[in-house]
Structures are given as structure tokens and as C-alpha cells.
Amino acid sequence: MSMIRTKIVATMGPAVASVEALLALFRQGVDVCRLNFSHGSLGEHLLMLRKIREAAAMHDQPVAILGDLCGPKIRLGKIKPVGDTGGMPIAIGDELVLQRAAIEGADGVVSSIFPQMIDDVQIGHRVLIEDGLLRFLCVDKNYNRLVLQCTDGGILKSSKGINLPDTDVQTPAITDKDWRDADWAIDNDLDYLALSFVRHADDINLLRQHLVNKVSDIHIVAKIEKPEAVKAIAGIIEATDGLMVARGDLGVEMDVAEVPIIQKDLVRRCQAAGKPVIVATQMLNSMITDSSPTRAEVSDVANAIFDGTDAVMLSGETSVGKFPVVTVRTMAHIAKVTEAYLDTMPPRGEPTLALKTLPVSAAMARGVWQVVNDMKLKLVVVWSQTGSTARLFSKNRMSVPILALSSDHRALRRMALHYGVIPQEMPPPTTTVDLITWVDGFVRAKQMAAPGDRIVIVSGLSMSTPGTMNNFVIHTVGEDWTEHVTPSQSLPQPATPTGPTHLHDTPVHQ
């Protein structure tokens, strides 16, 4: 069982399109599988989903699935490859015609999936492709086409993204394709939906209402990749369930030098709000083709962990890369070494979560954080039926793993995204002895703690009822609780004072 606290999100694709490859990814540290709806058909995603679930059933920890909606992303249409280049080569000074009518791009003429962009782009506007790797300037236009001059060349490839930093493009927040993909995600019980190109909280609320209407409990992750979103970030964080720092488009739409500052600010804001955050894009990008990362990429992953991110994400590295398993192993190793260093540092200042809801839960988590640091405990164990308690404990950046117990499969999968949380299914216990005995046996079997180690177990009046987490127990692994508690004693009743220490009596939401 992995004890790395940072979570790894891996994008699915042809490079990992077998059950064996997926299981290898999970065993190296992948916690969340990302289905990118910008590529592939729903039929292809369904085949991948079935393989993910087959591999996850053979893994010893829950795996979450995140569906990434395209949003109003403008992309190139299909392009006919030239030779073995994988696309259409274009050099500085070359002219490229981008026409309204859909075609298979060839001989310097291409199209996009959003023909209305022809109306919005004006002469003198920049047109950036594939996160700005290829750059063009509009030098002429008419109703049917734009004439672009290349200022930075490369290989134009099918479906690559187009950014228009000088153009006010009139696109909907959620496209017709997004609605179809969202319904597919609901029908297939995905755990998270990422909404691309969020501009303000209303975009999140629109998708939320759709999920409510469909009686779906899928959680929403807002992707921050536009200047408008950065300006409206307070409302977005309040409306969403989590954030993704999508640095690719963000670095194209804004001054790239601002991206590291924005990343740190967003991670800090999510920490205070008790919401999970993913840092994404080009983290180990060179490993798409190379078996080892650059020194700068290693520093990038480590710095995201220093910042306090819940998860780091791989995109092309796992979807189409040559070394997907090696890449995940590398990322997990960076996380392990970085976390080991953080564990040698004095504890950060007392965590402060500025929550409008669940303030008592936050107080309980803060109290456990203090006890863990003062008593050098080995593990935190918490019953979190819906995942909310585990999420708040996670945001306190415990120096030890958090074993989160629930009988709800969906909640367990969602918890796979939270920093430091190890989700584990367990039927609701009925007595204090049942809970502690089960935990004691489990943590020893999984080598999460050894006899003599002390752990903290958060329990309450009713494991199946939110709002009843009202005490925690300091337990020495291997100790027999039947000496202190009678077998008939119910969970609401604390152990006698002669038993292991009980602390705190404040009700906590789950």
C-alpha cells in the first residue's frame, strides 16, 4: 500500500490502453485516471473506462475517475500527416490558411472546430497553437478564411488547441458537446468532472444545476486557465469542489512569468477554503519521449508539493508517451523524497481554514493535527462516510497518512484525490471495540503501523450519520481493548478512564 501522500493524476490514452498497463500505473502510484473528452469518442472512452475499472478491482486502493470536459476550447480540425512527422510541418515566414469550412488539413490549408472564430479574429491578432509552441499573426482575412503568417514554426497536428490572446471570442461557457459528455459521465458513474475555461462562478453553477437535475453527486473541478478566472477566483473557489491549475493555457493567455505566482496563490486559497487542488501541465513533459526528466521538471514537481498541492498531473506523458510507467514511478519518487524532506522540517504554523461551512469539523481536524505533532503519532484514522471529514483533515497537511474509512464506494473513490488520504472500505462498526479491533488488525496487516506505535482514531455517535464525530482515541497498536471496554458497550459510550486516552467532545460533520 502506497504511503506517498501526494496524489498522482494520470491522463488515459493509447499508451496505457491495456488492463496490465493500467494496473502497473496504479501500483506505481496513480490515484486518479483522467479521461480527456477533447480526444477520442465516447465509445473509446467507454472501452477505457471498463479497463480502468477492471484494473482497479485488482488494486488494493480505490481509484477515482475524472472526466475532463472540453469547454469552449478552439482546436484545429483533422490534419493529414506528412511523411512520418505526425502532422503538417510549417516554418517561420510560411503562410497558413485557416478556413471556415471543415476539411482535412493539407498543403498549408486547415480548419478548426469553431468556424465562428473567423468572424472574431482581426488582422494583427495573434493566433497561438499547441500552448503557444507554434505562433502566427493574422495578416489578411475575408468571410471564409484567415491568412496567418508563421512567427514560430513546428508541426501542426490534429486537434491541437488554439489560443487567441488578442481576440474576444464569443463562445458559450458549456458547449453542446460538453452537455453530452457530462451526461455520459453521469450515466457511467464518474467521480469528478473538470470544467475547462471557467470564467466566473456562474459557469460552475450552471453545471452544478445540471448535475442536481440529474440526481448526480459527481464533484466539479474548475480548471483555471483564463485571466477572467484569476480575477474572479474567490467566487469560483466557493462554487466549486476543487481546482486545477491548468498552466498550459494559463501561460498562453497570460504573461508566462506570472504563472508560478498564480499557482502558489491558488494552492494557498484552496488550502484556506478546504478544497483539493491539482497542479497540471508539462510537469514531466520531456518524458513523453525520454526515459528520464530534466532537472527543471523535477524541481517543478517538488515545488508544487512544497506549495501544498493535493495532486500533480500527467498529461501526454501517460496518454501517448513512450514511458508511462517509468514516468509515474519518477513522479512518485520525487514526491517521496520531497515529503521525506518536509517531514524533517518544523511543522508549519497552525493550519487555518476559512470555512463558511463545517467550522466545527475544521476545529476537530486542527486539534488532531496538534496532537499528531506533539505526540509523534504514526497514523490518523477517521470514519468519513461522505468524504468531507477526510477532506478537511487532508487540508491540515498532517505529517502522517490519514486512513479514511467509509462504506460508500463513491465517497471512497473521491477521497483518492485528497492529499495524504488512504481510502478504505469498512462496514459501519457498532461498538468501540469493533472499530478499534478492526483498525488495529488492518494497520498491522498492511504494515502501516507496528505493535507499540500510537495512532489516533476519530470516532463518534453513529458512523453512518453525518454530524456525529464527537471524540478521538489515542490507541497503542497491539493493545487489547477488551480489558477496558465490555463487548456490549455501544459506540457512543467512551471507554473507562483507565483505558487509552479520549480527547475532544465536539460534534463534527462527516
User: What's the mean pLDDT in 374-398?
Assistant: 91
- Report the chain's terminal Cα–Cα distance, integer Å: 25
What b/e string do you get for 480-510 counting C-beta neighbours within 10 Å, with b at 16 or more?
ebeebbeeebebeebbeeebeebeeeeebbb
Split at pLDDT 50, 70, 90, the class of 168 is confident
Looking at the DSSP assignment, which residues form a beta bridge with residue 243? 222, 277
Tell me the C-alpha distance between 105 and 286, whole Å. 27
Residues 380 and 479 in one domain: yes
Q: What is the pLDDT of residues 282-295, one digit of tens each?
A: 999 999 999 999 99
- Structural domains in the chain (count): 3
Q: What mean pLDDT is reported for the chain?
A: 89
Q: What is the pLDDT of residues 39-93, one digit of tens each?
A: 899 999 999 999 999 999 999 899 999 999 998 889 999 999 999 999 999 999 9
Give domain status of residue 348, yes or no: no
- Domain identity same for 16 and 138: no
Please identify which of the residues 34, 73, 135, 208 carries the catalytic annotation. Answer: 34
pLDDT tens column, 289-313: 999 999 999 999 999 999 999 999 9
Residue that is written with C-alpha cell 448526480 in the block: 216
Span 158-181, mean pLDDT?
Answer: 90
Concatenate the DSSP letters of all residues of 410-428 into one string. Answer: HHHHHGGGSTTEEEEE-PP
**Residue 2 has what pLDDT?**
53
Whole-prediction pTM value? 0.86
Residue 21 and residue 15 in contact, taking contact as beta carbons nearer than 8 Å: yes
**Which segment, 333-342, 369-378, 482-491, is predicted with the most confidence on average?**
333-342
Q: Does 347 reside within a domain?
A: no
- Indicate whether 352 belongs to any domain: no
Q: Given a cut of 60, is residue 489 above it in pLDDT?
A: no
193 and 62 inside one domain: yes
The Cα 197–Cα 403 span in angstroms is 34
Q: What is the CATH number of the domain that holds 149?
A: 2.40.33.10
Helices 295-307 and 324-344: angle between axes, nearest 10 degrees: 50
Active-site choice (27, 53, 75, 269): 75
Please give the single-letter amino acid code of residue 390: A
Percent with pLDDT over 70 in the chain: 89
pLDDT tier at 435 (50, 70, 90 boundaries)?
confident
Cell numbers given for 421: 488520504
Residues 137 and 93 in one domain: yes
Is 87 found in the same domain as 58?
Answer: no
Residues 88 and 37 in one domain: no
d(CA 66, CA 56): 14
- Span 191-243, pLDDT tens digits: 999 999 999 999 999 999 999 999 999 999 999 998 889 999 999 999 999 99
pLDDT at residue 399, as a whole number: 87
- Domain span at residue 496 reads 359-503
Biggest alpha carbon distance in the chain? Answer: 86
Task: Tell me which residue of 411, 416, 410 sits closest to 402, measured CA to CA.
Answer: 416
Q: What pLDDT score does 198 carry?
A: 94
In angstroms, the CA 181 to CA 198 distance is 17
325 and 193 within one domain: yes
Which carries the bigger pLDDT value, residue 231 or residue 432?
231
Mean pLDDT of all residues in 367-392: 90
Residues 374 and 432 in one domain: yes
Does the active-site annotation cover 214? Answer: no
Name the band, by pLDDT with cuts 50, 70 and 90, for residue 351. Answer: low
pLDDT higher than 60, residue 497: no
Write out the three cell numbers for 362.
475544521
Whether residue 315 contacts residue 234, with contact meaning beta carbons closer than 8 Å, is answered with no
Q: What is the pLDDT of residue 354?
A: 66
Residue 320 near residue 336, CB atoms below 8 Å: no
Residues 6+ apart with CB under 8 A from 374: none
Same domain, 140 and 220: no
134-142 sheet: strands from edge to edge: 74-75, 161-163, 126-129, 134-142, 145-152, 95-99, 109-111
Sign for the CA dihedral angle at 420, 15, 316, 121 comes to negative
Residue 94 lies in a domain: yes
CATH code, 401: 3.40.1380.20
Q: What is the pLDDT of residue 33?
A: 98
- What's the pLDDT at 496? 34
Query: What contacts 37, CB < 8 A, 6 or more positions away?
Result: 45, 67, 68, 69, 70, 177, 178, 181
Rounded CA-CA distance 473/240 in Å is: 33
Measure the CA–CA gap between 449 and 402, rounded to whole angstroms. 12
Question: Is residue 351, in this structure, part of any structural domain at all?
Answer: no
Average pLDDT of 145-158? 96
Instruction: With cut-offs at 50, 70 and 90, classify the pLDDT of residue 499.
Output: very low
Residue 245 C-beta-side C-alpha neighbours within 13 Å: 29
362's enclosing H/E stretch is helix 359-375
| Mean pLDDT to the nearest integer, 329-337 | 98
Fill in the DSSP letter of residue 150. E
- 24: in domain: yes
Q: How wide is the angle at C-alpha 178 spanned by C-alphas 73 and 312, nearest 5°?
A: 65
Q: Is the pLDDT of residue 462 over 80?
A: no
334-342 mean pLDDT: 96
Name the active-site residue from 223, 395, 410, 454. Answer: 223
Helix, strand, coil abundance in the chain, percent, nearest 5: 35, 20, 40
Q: Tell me, what's the pLDDT at 484?
A: 57
Residue 185 sits in a domain whose CATH number is: 3.20.20.60
Q: Per residue in 12-42, pLDDT tens?
A: 999 999 999 999 999 999 999 999 998 899 9
The answer to whether 281 is a known catalytic residue is yes
What pLDDT is recorded for position 510?
42
Could you tell me if 184 and 252 lie in one domain?
yes
Alpha helices in 217-358 (DSSP H): 227-231, 233-239, 247-253, 259-273, 295-307, 316-319, 324-344
Q: Is 295 a catalytic residue?
A: no
**Whether residue 97 is found in the same domain as residue 221:** no
| pLDDT at residue 3, rounded to an integer | 74
The residues, ordered by sequence, that sit 6+ positions from 183 with a Cβ below 8 Å of its Cβ are 214
Q: Is 444 a catalytic residue?
A: no
Instruction: List the catalytic residue out of 281, 318, 327, 468.
Output: 281
60/197 same-domain check: yes
Confidence of residue 190 (pLDDT cuts 50, 70, 90): very high
